[in-house]
Structure 1
Amino acid sequence: MFITLLKYVKPLEEVEHYLDDHVQFLDKYYSQKKFIFSGRRNPRIGGVILMHVNTRDEVEYIIREDPFHKHNIAEYEVIEFQPTKYDTRFSCFVD
């Protein structure tokens, strides 16, 4: 499992310009069951995506498709982790 932290490197006006394309990108990977959650950071300096994928290579492939990456809107930090304790409602993601 991977947490991907996005940090905007361009003004919010440019973020907004590509936001609809970014949402379509998110929808694609939600439909493939690869994203668990996503959302804005507070304060609005970027975003967070929790990915249910197997390898860092797959994460990097996915990131390259993000319009925020293609247009240099955000920088990405990828954190791999293995949940060892979790609410049973999330067990479908941990198996």
Structure 2
Amino acid sequence: MDKQTLLEKKENLIRHYRGMVVWACRVLEYKRRFDSTEDFGTDGLQDYMNILKDDSRRELKDIAVNVRLVRKQISDIDDELMNMIGEKNGR
């Protein structure tokens, strides 16, 4: 890949990374609200809220995995760009 393509790919990954961080913040806020609510009254509603709590935990785990993958991809692009610069300077 050429330098411009790598830079565009990195920019898109950074945008994606920022979106995941914003989404994680929202999930954490909802999780905080669910965790702070003691009793929901009916058993059905309590069960529903417990499902939402579990879903938010799973969602956060998924986000964490994706964040790590995107950070690795960004790091790989940075390494490739540095190699391109090194090859140019070595000529």
| Alignment TM-score, normalising by the size of structure 2 | 0.29
Pair member with larger Rg: 2
Greater per-residue strand proportion: 1
| Alignment TM-score, normalising by the size of structure 1 | 0.28
Greater per-residue helix proportion: 2
